[in-house]
Structure 1
């Protein structure tokens, strides 16, 4: 359940960043944070 909530939160944050900033570099950074967040949720 914690994993699901973490993923959901990260996805929402990613979408928010994407809507605010369309720069590809920033999107890559957001996805990097997303991956780290999900890895942390699994461990």
Structure 2
């Protein structure tokens, strides 16, 4: 299973585009919620 980061980068890579503002914002959101995902997985 692919994670969110791999999927996002793959979509841009396949279409031959650079990461735009929306992609960067999506990555930032993913990393900002990282601690919550780790805590949920540990529970």
Higher relative contact order (CA 8 A, sep 6+): 1
When the two structures are superposed, what TM-score results if normalisation uses the length of structure 1?
Answer: 0.46
Question: Larger helix proportion, structure 1 or 2?
Answer: 1
Q: TM-score, normalised by structure 2?
A: 0.46
